[in-house]
Structure 1
Amino acid sequence: MATAERLALLGGAPAVDQPLPHEIWPPPADEAELAEIAGQRNTDISIKGNSGPIGRLETDFLAFLDGGARYAVTFNSGTSALLAAYFALGVRDGVDVVGPALTYHAALSPVFALRGDVVLADIDPDTRGLDPKALQAALTERTKVITVVHQWGHPCDMDAISRIAERHGLRVLEDCSHAHGSRYKGKPVGTFGDAAVFSLQANKAVYAGEGGILVTSDPQVHDRATLLGHYRDRSRDTVLDEDLRAHWVTGFGLKLRMSPFNAIVARHALAAFPARKEARHRCLRHFGDQLGDVPYLEPVQVAAHVDMGAWYGYKPLYRPEALGGVPRSVLVEALRAEGLEVGAPSGPRLSTLPLYARPENPLFPGVPKRGTAPESGSHAAYVEQHALSLPTFTDWPKDRALIDQYAEAFRKIGRHREALVRYAAGPSR
C-alpha cells in the first residue's frame, strides 16, 4: 500500500497539510478598535455608571436583540451575570432550579452560591438542550426557575418550555452563551424568558475578553440584578424601584462591573458579528454537506425553524458500530494523526462533577444539597460519550480547502476501517 494511502497513525501521510491551530480566535483587532482602546486609556479608565463605552455596548446589544428586551446590564463575566440573574429571579435557600444535565458548569453553578439546589433534567438528542418532557418530570414543589441553555448554538424548544413555565408559574432564565445571534422561529434567543445572559468570554462569537451581559424586560429583575453587581452612580441613576434605590450607595455589597476596555472590545466584536456569522454558516454548511457520506458520523442536525447564529464549535456524533466498535479515543487519535484539530467536548455531565455530585454545598459547610440527576442511560450520557468537537471555521472561502481536507481525513479513516480496528485491538492498547 502506498504511504499516502495508509493511515497517518500507521505511517502514512496526513490528509491535512495545514499546520495547527486551525481555529484562531478571537481575531486580531483592527486599527479602529486599537485606537479606541488607546483613546479610552487617556480619557477615563474608571467605571462611571453605564456611561461611555459601557452604555453604548448595552444600547447596541438591545438593538442586536431586535428590541426584544427593555434593559441590559453588563458584568465582568457571564458567570457574574448568571449569579445576578438567579438572585434577581428569587433563588435562595429552599428553591430548586431545573436545568440541563449536559452543559457548561457555570450555567447552573451560581445557584449554589445562593444556597439554592439544582435539579438536572435530561437533554433532547436533537437540540442538545433541555428536553421538555424531562423538564416536566423533574419539576418539584420547590421549583421556581427553569434554566434553558441553547447548547452549542441550537435553540431549545421554547414553545414547549414556555408552556410548561406558564402552566406552573415558573420563571425562565435563558443562558445564551453559545448562541449569539441564534433565532427560534425568527425570534432572537434571549427574548423568550424572564431574563437572559450572554457570556462575552474570549471564545465567544461576540467577545470582550472577559465579560457578560444580562437582558430582561422585567423592571424588578433589572433593579435586583443591577444592585447585586453595581453601586453608586449606576444604581442611583438606573434603578427604578424607590425602595430598592435606597441601596444605591452600596448596592448589595458586591462589585461585578465590566471594564470600559472590555466594553470597547465587545462593541467592535458585535459590529463585526454579521459578516463573521455569515462566513461561519457558509463554512459549516459546506462541512456538513461533505460529512454527509461518512457512515460513522451523524452530522449536526439543524431544525428548519432554527438559525444557529454564531454556532459554537462543530459537534457531530460518532457512531462506533459503523467503525467496528473502535473507541472514540482511538478515532480522535487517528484524526489527530491526520492533522485535524479535534477532541471530545470539554464539558462532562454535571452530575459527574464534585460540585454537583457531592451531598454538601462546599460554600456552606453542613448545608446538604437535594438536587437530582438523570440516569446514566440518558441522552445526556450518550451525547457526552459520542460527541466530537471540531473547529468553528470562519474564514470563507479561504477555509473551504481546509474543510475539504478534514472531510477527506474522515473518509480515509472509513476506507481503512479494518486497519484501525486492528490497531485498537493491538497488545499495546
Structure 2
Amino acid sequence: MSIPIYRPHLAGNLSRYVEECISTGWISSRGDFIGRFEEAFASYTGVKEATSVSNGTVAIHLILEALGIGPGDEVIVPTFTYIASVNTILQTGAKPVYVDSLEETLQIDPNAVRAAIGPRTKAVMAVHLYGHPCDMDAIVAICDEHSLLLIEDCAEAFGTFWKGRHVGSFGDGATFSFFGNKTITTGEGGMVLARDPNILARCRHLKSQGVSPTREYWHDVLAYNYRMTNIQAAIGLSQIELADEILRKKRELAKTYRESLSGLPLRTHDSVGEVVHSNWMCSVILDNAEYRDDLRQKLKAEGIDTRPFFPPAHRMPHSAAEGDFPVADGLSARGINLPSFPDITEREVHSVCSTIREFF
C-alpha cells in the first residue's frame, strides 16, 4: 500500500537512547531507561507510578491476576472490542459477560452494564475504543454502588481525557499498549497502572517470575516473564518526549477528515462531551453497511490501506455467547479506520478523501 493505515513517528532522541543501551550493554530487562520511562509515563497520565510490561495483552492479564480475578468470577466487558480484552479474562478462568455499546461514542453502554450485574460479577472492564473515552462518571458510579472492581483497557487511548483526567486514572487498574501502530510505541510493550500501591507491587512481582526480593533465585509464587526490555523503554522515553507533537498532528488529521468528508453518507468518530479524543484511529461509520466492503476495495485499488471495525467478541468461535447486541453488530458492519499516522502528508490525505468522495 502506498498509503498505509499507520506508520510510527520515530524521531527525537530515539537513536541516541537506543545507541546508549547498546554501547553500555544494557539491552535486556534491566537498565536505567525502564525506570525513566515508567516515571515519565506516570507523570504524563497523572498517576503516582506505573510498571512496564512486554506488550499490551499481558498488561491486561497481569492486572486481572493481581486483582485476584479468576474461576467463578464474571467480568462485564463490551462485545465491541479488540479480542485481547476478552482473551485475558478467559485466561484467568473468569467469564466475560458481554454488553452493548453506544452508537454515538462507540463506547460501553453504562445502562447495559447496570443491567448485566449479577451475583458473580466481580469487575467491569471499560475499553476506551479508538481513542474516545468511556463515560467514566457513570461507570465509576456503578462500580462504587455495587462494590465492583474497575479495570480500564486504555490500549488505544494514550492522550485521551475524560473531564480533564487522563484515562487510566479512574480504575482499580489500567493498561496501555505500545504496539507499533499505537500513538506512542515501543515496537511491542505495555504499561500497567493501579490505584493501590500494593496491587502494583504485586504486578511487579508477578511480571518477573515471582522472584523473591530477599533470596537469590528463589521464586515464591507461580508467575510470568512479562518484562519490558531496556531498549523498548529507551524508545518509549523518546516517544513520551514527542507525545504532545504526535497528538497535535493526529488532532489536525481528524479535523481534516471531518471537514473533507462532510456531506457524505457517513460520519466521523468525533468527540462527544467534555473529553479529549486522542484519535488513535481516524474512523468513519457509514450510513449503510452494504457499501463498506466495496468502499474498502476502492481504496485498496488506489493503494490506500484501511481496517474494518472489530468484529464483536461474542461472535468469535472461542468466546461465543448468546445475546442481542444490535449496536455492536451495526457498528462493526459499518465502520472503517482510515490512514491515521501523524506524518501523513496533505497530498496523501487529499488522495484518501477524494477517493471516498469519488466512490459515493
- Is the partner of 1:109 in helix, strand or coil? helix
CA distance in 1, matches of 2:290, 2:69: 45
Tell me by how many angstroms 1:271 deviates: 1.0
- The answer to whether structure 1 residue 275 and structure 2 residue 245 are counterparts is yes
2:349 to 386, 403, 419: 403
CA distance in 2, matches of 1:301, 1:374: 28
CA distance in 1, matches of 2:18, 2:55: 19
- The answer to whether structure 1 residue 45 and structure 2 residue 8 are counterparts is no
Tell me by how many angstroms 1:339 deviates: 4.5
Q: Which runs of 5+ in 2 are unaligned?
A: none
TM-score of the two chains, using structure 1 as the length reference: 0.78
Name the aligned partner's letter for residue 338 of structure 2: L
- Is the partner of 1:252 in helix, strand or coil? coil
Tell me by how many angstroms 1:198 deviates: 0.5
CA distance in 1, matches of 2:183, 2:322: 31
- Is the partner of 1:198 in helix, strand or coil? strand
Tell me by how many angstroms 1:143 deviates: 0.6
2:230 to 257, 260, 284: 260
Tell me by how many angstroms 1:192 deviates: 0.7
TM-score of the two chains, using structure 2 as the length reference: 0.93
1:307 to 276, 287, 291: 276
Work out the percentage of aligned pairs sharing the same amino acid. 27
Q: Is the 8 A contact 2:10 2:239 kept in 1?
A: no
1:378-417 equivalences under 5 Å are 378-395=326-343, 399-414=345-360
- Is the partner of 1:341 in helix, strand or coil? coil
Paired residues in the alignment total: 359
Distance 1:343 1:215, change over 3 A: closer
Name the aligned partner's letter for residue 261 of structure 1: I
Distance 1:29 1:279, change over 3 A: closer
CA distance in 2, matches of 1:110, 1:271: 31
CA distance in 2, matches of 1:280, 1:253: 38
Match of 1:330 in 2: 294
Name the aligned partner's letter for residue 346 of structure 2: R
Q: Is the 8 A contact 2:206 2:223 kept in 1?
A: yes
2:117 to 115, 135, 139: 139
2:42 to 62, 65, 69: 62
Match of 1:222 in 2: 200
Tell me by how many angstroms 1:22 deviates: 4.0
Distance 1:374 1:314, change over 3 A: farther
Q: Which runs of 5+ in 1 are unaligned?
A: 1-18, 238-244, 358-371, 415-429
- Is the partner of 2:231 in helix, strand or coil? helix
1:341 to 305, 315, 323: 305
Distance 1:73 1:388, change over 3 A: same
Work out which of the two has the higher radius of gyration on C-alpha atoms and give 1 or 2. 1
Q: Is the 8 A contact 1:283 1:400 kept in 2?
A: no
- Is the partner of 2:33 in helix, strand or coil? helix
CA distance in 2, matches of 1:192, 1:24: 29
Distance 1:232 1:82, change over 3 A: closer
Q: Is the 8 A contact 1:119 1:373 kept in 2?
A: no
Distance 1:342 1:40, change over 3 A: closer
1:20-35 equivalences under 5 Å are 20-29=2-11, 32-35=13-16
Distance 1:373 1:129, change over 3 A: farther
Match of 1:365 in 2: none
Q: Is the 8 A contact 1:227 1:252 kept in 2?
A: no
Distance 1:337 1:113, change over 3 A: closer
Q: Is the 8 A contact 1:84 1:226 kept in 2?
A: no
- Is the partner of 1:91 in helix, strand or coil? coil
Q: Is the 8 A contact 2:74 2:94 kept in 1?
A: yes
Tell me by how many angstroms 1:134 deviates: 0.7
